[in-house]
Each structure stands twice: as C-alpha cells, then as structure tokens.
Amino acid sequence: MVDGRTPGWLKPHSIVLLCCVAIFVLTVVGFFLFIAKVPRLVEAPSRVTDAIVVLTGGSERIVTGLDLLESGWARKMFVSGVSTTVDLDELLAVVDRTPSSVRGDLEVGHEARDTLGNAIETAKWLEQNQFNSIRLVTAGYHMPRSLKEFFRVMPDAEIVPHPVFPSHVHLDHWWMWSGSTILLLNEYAKFLVSYCRLFLDLVISPKK
C-alpha cells in the first residue's frame, strides 16, 4: 500500500480477474493431464477375475467382453446399462454373436442410466453373486471416469481395467479431429464432476 491507496491488483475486480485466469489455467492443465491418463493400449489378460463387466456404449465393448468370457478369463459376464426394451438375445443379435457355450453365463442390467449408475448396478450384482473381482470393459476415453466411479462405489473390489478403442475416436493427434476433441472435452467435464463428487464424499464422510 502506497500513500494509503490499495494497489491495483488488490482491488476486487482485479482479484476476480486473477481468480478467473487461475481457474482457466488449472482447467487447461487438468485437461492435458486427463488426456495423458487415457489408456492407449490394453495389456493382455494375465489372471482370471470373478466376472467381466461391460458398460454399454458400443458394440466393440460387448464383442470384447464375449471374447474374454469365451477364452475363460472370468466365470460370468454382466452388461450394465442395457435399455429396458432390449433383452439379452436382442443384444447378442446386434453384435451378431451366438455364444451358445457361455449363454448361461451372461446377464444384463437395465437400471443404470449413467456411469455412476453402472457402478451402483454392478455393485448390487457383485453382492448377489458374492464376487470380489471384475475385469471392466469400456472405451479407453471413458476408463478414467469409470474407474473413479467404480472405486468410489465399491472400494474393496478388485477392478482390472480392460479398455477398448473405438475406431472413430482418435486419441493420438486428437486436436486434428473435431469429433474426438469434442468427445474428450465432454468426457473431461464429466470426469471433473465425478472428481468433485468423490472429493465431497471424502469431506462429508471421511474414513476413520
């Protein structure tokens, strides 16, 4: 303070501006950190889990889950978030698969409407089947948020990520593809909401 006057950068409008700039910078940095967390590769399965959980959102997810189940990497497969108007046979018809050898090991859930709902629905199914470990199948760009929601809902479960990579999503050089850029920005926004939800849970109900 000079001559009793408040420096310009301490004036209310300057503080608000600085806060806005800081939030913008943190958001941009956070987006690039998020992009770095999105998996580009999937490791070959190395251990059997109790179940395979597939989140709806693309036929390649279901096909991958069926391949894993038929190869013996789990005892059962659960598809979460299926429309209430679609049964298992119709779902298999969409991906043009008739896995007769594992047909009895497939189940679908109709309750979930979003990723948090997927986690809640899956947690109920795991409890019903007394399962403790899952291989989670979803798109690579969706995996960071999915893991955060699943670990939040079922912190004691073992969750093995198994990302798939839709051909229309370009993770490398994503800025050159407007569709991929918009998709990743939208997913990042949802990831932030998920992160804030987890943070509030820790603040309101901290673990003892």
Strand, coil or helix: what is 140?
Answer: helix
> How high is the pLDDT of residue 199?
76
Comparing C-alpha atoms, which of 134, 155, 146 is closest to residue 194? 146
Are 102 and 77 a contacting pair, CB within 8 Å? yes
State pLDDT tens for residues 106-151. 999 999 999 999 999 999 999 999 999 999 999 999 999 999 999 9
Ordered domains of the chain (ranges, CATH): 38-208 (3.40.50.620)
What single-letter DSSP state applies at residue 85?
A: T
> How high is the pLDDT of residue 70?
93
Token reading at 44 = 């070959």
Comparing C-alpha atoms, which of 205, 187, 8 is closest to residue 114? 187
The overall average pLDDT reported for the chain is: 89
- Residue owning tokens 């006057």: 5
What single-letter DSSP state applies at residue 10?
A: G
Comparing C-alpha atoms, which of 45, 121, 40 is closest to residue 78? 121
Which secondary structure element, helix H or strand E, spans residue 134, and what is its range? strand 133-139
> How high is the pLDDT of residue 5?
59
Cα dihedral: 10, 12, 17, 20 (round 10) = 110
State pLDDT tens for residues 79-111. 999 999 999 989 888 888 887 788 889 999 999
pTM: 0.86
pLDDT-wise least confident of 41-50, 67-76, 133-142: 41-50
How far is it, in rounded angstroms, from Cα 16 to Cα 187?
28
